[in-house]
Amino acid sequence: MKFLDQPPRFLFFTGKGGVGKTSIACAAAIHLADAGRKVLLVSTDPASNVGQVFGVNIGNTITAIESVPDLSALEIDPQAAVQAYRDRIVGPVRGLLPETVVKGIEEQLSGACTTEIAAFDEFTALLTDSALTAGYAHILFDTAPTGHTIRLLQLPGAWSGFLAAGKGDASCLGPLAGLEKQREQYKAAVDALADAERTRLILVARAQQATLREVARTHEELAAIGLSQQHMVINGILPQIETESDPLAAAIHEREQAALQNIPAVLQTLPRDRVMLKPYNMVGLAALRQLFDDTAATVEVAVDSPLELDEPNLSELVDEIAEDQHGLIMLMGKGGVGKTTLAAAIAVELARRGLPVHLTTSDPAAHLSETLNGTLDNLTVSRIDPQLETQRYRQHVLETKGAKLDRQGRALLEEDLRSPCTEEIAVFQAFSAVIRESGSKFVVMDTAPTGHTLLLLDATGAYHREISRQMDTTGLHDSTPLMRLQDPKRTKVLIVTLAETTPVLEAANLQADLKRAGIAAWAWVINASVAASRARSPLLRRRAANELREIHTVASRHAQRYAVAPLLQQEPIGVERLQALAGDRRMPAEP
């Protein structure tokens, strides 16, 4: 592996959930420890399973991995870190401020930015305290802070004063309040991250066009703030030998090779490693030691029992949705799980049944709209450009709230407007113009703000001011838009995930986030399931068997109702393929 050639002291692994960051980080830690170097592996991932991978209880203390001499591990619990962080900030004002104000502050401190900053707060000492990490030749971090978080930590001081003066709405600046005492330590940690002699970033991806586009954005964002020492690992590539007897495997292999041939230009100069897909879970030393070995994937692995998955499919959810004749259908989930495709499939099937449908999407790939537009009665499509809408929203806020700010205050506001919440707000405002149609037709929306963002919008009044005025007020004179989303008779939220450990956990966290905002998930959709696709390849069949546990977890612990959508041989683009995904009760086996 190129990324392990002459490694610096700090290695950070970053990437979307489910791409294999933890497995790559654990295998790298074992590789370095086996070479006789003393290694500390640190996880700040909310879905961390480092302890499970090694078969030991780790937790928030440095723990020696007895089966691997010279390797120790530490799991920072992000939720515990956030709670301690929140208590430290909210504690002094509890009882002094009205309860509604305190709840607003707590909501400020409940988003993804807080989790990242609290985790950064925890591992700052590992980057800067030489006594704490003395003796370790390498420290590997499973999950790196985003460029947005690092930029926030680089900003001038006076966060508390900026907020206290009411110069900015509640958003990502809130988590930074009261951190002046740690600024020097934070600066030292950020300096360590940007030092190519000390730090290397490993961008972990899958051989998928959407994932590689996301990695390209991450690369540019981090390089722009000085984190230029980057490597890329493309994980989980299907071996060609698996394609010989399975049309599905052949189609996956062809798609992956096309994605690799068309890697975004900004990534083409990065040192690059490839890791082949393995048929087994990355648990235990034997599996981890074979992860970087390309020959291990060619061994046939038998599946003990036949895989005849009998789970609810997407058409059964559409049956229930169609009974209402109209309403708002919101698809939510992390990037890369297939929200846009499923939204289009549901919209196409509802329209095929003669029901009026408006599909509104923020998918940057315009080919979806072009494929659908004018090809199906009862279906209209609108596409929002997230970059354009976010730019408009930022400009509006800077011209209004930012007009009277000094240079330092404006710098804080501009960074706040680079947060992920900003795009959610901007895109949702653009969508709001068509949401009013859900009183007389189906509106299917493929992107939605998180519960945390919705609560912030409602708490600051931005909801009512910026969205309500655009919506049909008939029957809404006594409610806010948040109340409409909380009403299951008007809105159905579908959470989209994959049958893999990290995506399921991320989806469960999203569901809890929505619940805090009073929004109940109506259903879950497990997308791109190998277990539902009738694969013949031995490797894919073993992967399918591994999915069954996650499907059971969703069905038994998380979802009120659910459906499983298969991984398809042909990508579901175009009306006919989308209709096949959502319309046939039992899809025929693909040739």
The answer to whether residue 143 scores a pLDDT higher than 50 is: yes
User: Which one from 63, 422, 438, 502 is the annotated catalytic residue?
Assistant: 502
Whether residue 90 is predicted with pLDDT greater than 90 in this model: the reply is no
Report the alpha-carbon distance of residue 201 to residue 199 in Å, rounded: 7
Q: Residue 472 in contact with residue 505, Cβ under 8 Å?
A: no
207 vs 482, higher pLDDT: 207
| Residues 228 and 352 grouped into a single domain | no
Higher pLDDT, 547 or 300: 547
> Are 191 and 52 found together in one domain?
yes
Pair (326, 187) in one structural domain: no
Q: Among the options 14, 16, 17, 22, which is catalytic?
A: 22
Cα dihedral 144, 181, 85, 418, rounded to 10, equals: -50
pLDDT-derived band at 123 (thresholds 50, 70, 90) equals: confident
Annotated catalytic residue, options 14, 23, 44, 361: 23
Q: Is 22 a catalytic residue?
A: yes
Task: Report if residue 26 sits inside a domain.
Answer: yes
Which one from 15, 18, 336, 402 is the annotated catalytic residue? 18
Structural domain boundaries enclosing 160 = 7-242+272-295
* Predicted pLDDT at 180: 56
Predicted local distance difference test score (pLDDT) of residue 306? 52
**pLDDT: which is higher, 413 or 176:** 413
Residue 12 shares a structural domain with residue 152: yes
Among this protein's residues, is 45 annotated catalytic? yes
Q: Do residues 43 and 75 make contact, with C-beta atoms less than 8 angstroms apart?
A: yes
Q: Give me the pLDDT at residue 175, please.
A: 58
Of 15, 17, 20, 174, the catalytic one is 20
Whether residue 556 is contained in a domain is answered as no
The conformation of residue 557, written as its DSSP 8-state character, comes to: I
Residues 578 and 475 in one domain: yes
Q: Are residues 339 and 276 in the same domain?
A: no
In a domain, 533, yes or no: no
> How far is it, in rounded angstroms, from Cα 45 to Cα 89?
23
Task: Write out pLDDT tens, residues 240-283.
Answer: 999 988 999 999 999 999 999 999 999 999 999 999 998 877 77
Instruction: Based on the fold, state whether residues 95 and 164 are members of the same structural domain.
Output: yes
Residues 33 and 175 in one domain: yes
Q: Among this protein's residues, is 43 annotated catalytic?
A: no
Please provide the average confidence, as pLDDT, over all residues in the chain.
83
- On whether residue 389 sits in a domain, the answer given is yes
Residues 6+ away with beta carbon under 8 Å from 164: none
Does the pLDDT of residue 122 top 90, yes or no?
A: no
Let me know if residue 57 belongs to a domain.
yes
Q: Is 18 a catalytic residue?
A: yes
Total domain count, the chain: 2
The answer to the question of residue 85 being in a domain is yes
In this prediction, residue 167 carries a pLDDT of 46
127 and 232 belong to one structural domain: yes
241 and 538 Cβ atoms separated by less than 8 Å: no
Dihedral (CA of 103, 104, 106, 107) sign: positive
**Catalytic residue, candidates 15, 16, 44, 45:** 45
- The yes-or-no answer on residue 518 being catalytic is no
Of 43-57, 295-309, 418-432, 573-587, give the range with the top mean pLDDT: 418-432
**Catalytic member of 16, 21, 401, 492:** 21
Q: How confident is the model at residue 312 (pLDDT cuts 50, 70, 90)?
A: very high
**Identity of the amino acid at 290:** Q
The pLDDT > 70 percentage for the chain reads 84
545 within domain boundaries:
no
Q: Please give the average per-residue pLDDT across 344-364, as a whole number.
A: 90
One domain, residues 289 and 366:
no
71-92 average pLDDT score? 83
Active site residue 23: yes
- How does residue 152 score in pLDDT terms, banded at 50, 70 and 90? confident
Cβ proximity of 529 and 551 under 8 Å: yes
- pLDDT confidence of 578, banded at 50, 70, 90? confident
Q: Cite the beta strand spans of 207-291 per DSSP E.
A: 230-237, 272-276
What pLDDT does 561 receive? 96
pLDDT at 554 over 90: yes
Virtual torsion, Cα 345, 351, 356, 357, nearest 10 deg: 10
- pLDDT of 478 above 70: no
Whether 72 is a known active-site residue: answer: no
Q: Which helix (H) or strand (E) holds 57?
A: none
Q: Provide φ and ψ at 265, rounded to 5°.
A: -55, -35
Q: Are residues 35 and 125 in the same domain?
A: yes
The tokens of 151 are what?
Answer: 């930029």
Residue 375 CA: distances (Å) to CA of 357, 442, 570, 574: 13, 18, 20, 9
Across 146-166, average pLDDT? 61
Q: Is residue 344 part of a domain?
A: yes
> Long-range contacts for 213-216 (Cβ within 8 Å, ≥24 apart)?
213/264, 214/16, 214/335, 214/336, 215/15, 215/264, 215/267, 216/264, 216/266, 216/267
CATH number, domain of 454, equals 3.40.50.300
Statement to judge: residues 285 and 430 lie in one domain: no
